[in-house]
């Protein structure tokens, strides 16, 4: 991406800090840069969002996530989600000799060492493995903004709202928003961006809500997995929905199957 941007003539000001915006300019590390458009891609605590008065938003209950890397040979090429009593553990193979472990819960005080006790199998795999990064935390939630643009300012990525980390969707969503925003800028009209942005967030928000109904409900987790075992095609279809290959409407029928299966399980 950096190579492509450079090829296209983009000036990358690494380490520069944006300290203010006006209608026609951005203040960057003491310099004034004249602008036609301003895109706030400055993350969940976006200052551009505040400067453009786009702050009003609603969010679901906050969740707290902590992550750390371990020097251990990955036991699977896939990412895994382990469901615990009060948290989920996410494992991601990073390379041939390192795995990232993240734990998310509603308890801001639940750190990795204590949380891992909820996952005996995972804990066993990590026994004796060297810890190769410091523990770092972040807040996760579904956040929705009333507006994602005003005048010549548009927000993108986490600055424009977030979906819970359980979806693994943050980056994908930002790239899809970028494609649409670029079209709007090319056409000289940011208005269509609002509706398109809302539409893009629908599927991941729905999946986040669906997955989080299992949070802290071990009995429901067990039943759901039983239903998936009995109807593997249902799991496949939910996965297809998650990656955008199916629309939520296609899934109405499967929702009925899942509900019925849960009642009988
Ligand atoms: C626990 C957790 C797990 C996640 N797992 C996944 C996953 O598996 N897959 C996935 O796709 N997403 C995941 N996400 C979401 C993903 O991390 C975010 O959606 C993504 O990082 C958003 O990118 P962004 O560029 O919008 O914001 P950020 O990554 O926050 O980047 C914003 C940048 O703007 C810079 N900045 C801020 N203010 C200024 C300023 N005034 N001047 C100059 N620069 C500034 C910051 O330094 C930062 O570099 C996860 C999130 C969490 C919390």
What number is the average pLDDT over the span 79-92? 93
Contacts of residue 178, Cβ cutoff 8 Å, sequence gap at least 6: 156
Residue 255's nearest CA partner among 241, 265, 243, 220 is 241
Does some domain include residue 115? yes
Neighbours of 86 (CB within 10 A): 14
Mutate which of 158, 169, 174 for ligand 1 pocket (most atoms within 8 A of beta carbon): 158
Pairing of strands 63-71, 98-105: antiparallel
Query: Which residue range(s) make up the domain with 232?
Result: 217-264
pLDDT tier at 124 (50, 70, 90 boundaries)?
Answer: very high
pLDDT tens-digit series, residues 158-173: 999 999 988 888 899 9
Task: Verify that 51 and 177 share a domain, yes or no.
Answer: yes
Nearest protein CA to atom 1 of ligand 1, as residue: 65
Task: Verify that 150 and 44 share a domain, yes or no.
Answer: yes
Q: Is a pLDDT exceeding 70 seen at residue 99?
A: yes
* Å from CA of 129 to ligand 1 middle: 28
Provide the pLDDT for residue 265. 64
* Percentage of the chain modeled with pLDDT above 90: 68
Total domain count for the chain? Answer: 4
Q: CA-to-CA distance for 167 and 207, rounded, in angstroms?
A: 7
CA of 28, closest atom in ligand 1: 42
Q: CA-to-CA distance for 110 and 88, rounded, in angstroms?
A: 11
**Collapsing DSSP states into helix, strand and coil, what is residue 66?**
strand
Provide the pLDDT for residue 198. 95
Query: In CATH, what number is assigned to the domain containing residue 93?
Result: 3.30.9.10
The model carries a pTM of 0.88
Phi and psi at residue 143, to the nearest 5° = -120, 135
Task: Verify that 253 and 160 share a domain, yes or no.
Answer: no
Which residue is listed with tokens 């499967």? 254
Task: Verify that 116 and 67 share a domain, yes or no.
Answer: yes
Top-confidence residue, 42 or 250: 42
């Amino acid at each position: 991406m950096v190579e492509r941007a450079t090829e296209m003539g983009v000036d990358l000001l690494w380490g520069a800090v944006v300290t203010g915006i006006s209608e026609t300019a951005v203040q960057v590390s003491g310099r004034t840069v004249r602008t036609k458009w301003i895109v706030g891609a400055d993350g969940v605590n976006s200052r551009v969002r505040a400067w453009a008065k786009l702050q009003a938003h609603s969010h679901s209950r906050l969740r707290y996530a902590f992550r750390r890397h371990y020097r251990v040979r990955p036991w699977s090429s896939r990412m895994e989600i382990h469901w615990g009593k009060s948290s989920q553990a996410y494992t991601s193979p990073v390379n041939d000799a390192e795995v990232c472990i993240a734990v998310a819960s509603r308890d801001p005080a639940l750190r990795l060492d204590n949380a891992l006790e909820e996952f005996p199998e995972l804990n066993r795999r990590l026994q004796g493995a060297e810890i190769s990064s410091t523990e770092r935390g972040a807040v996760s939630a579904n956040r929705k903004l009333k507006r994602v643009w005003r005048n010549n300012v548009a927000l993108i990525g986490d600055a424009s709202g977030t979906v819970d980390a359980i979806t693994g969707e943050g980056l994908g969503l930002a790239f899809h928003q970028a494609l649409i925003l670029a079209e709007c800028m090319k056409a000289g009209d940011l208005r269509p961006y609002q509706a398109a942005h809302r539409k893009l967030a629908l599927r991941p928000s729905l999946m986040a809500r669906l997955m989080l109904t299992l949070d802290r409900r071990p009995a429901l987790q067990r039943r759901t997995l039983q239903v998936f075992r009995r109807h593997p095609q249902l799991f496949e279809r939910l996965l297809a929905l998650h990656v955008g290959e199916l629309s939520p409407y296609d899934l109405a029928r499967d929702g009925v199957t899942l509900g019925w299966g849960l009642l009988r399980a």
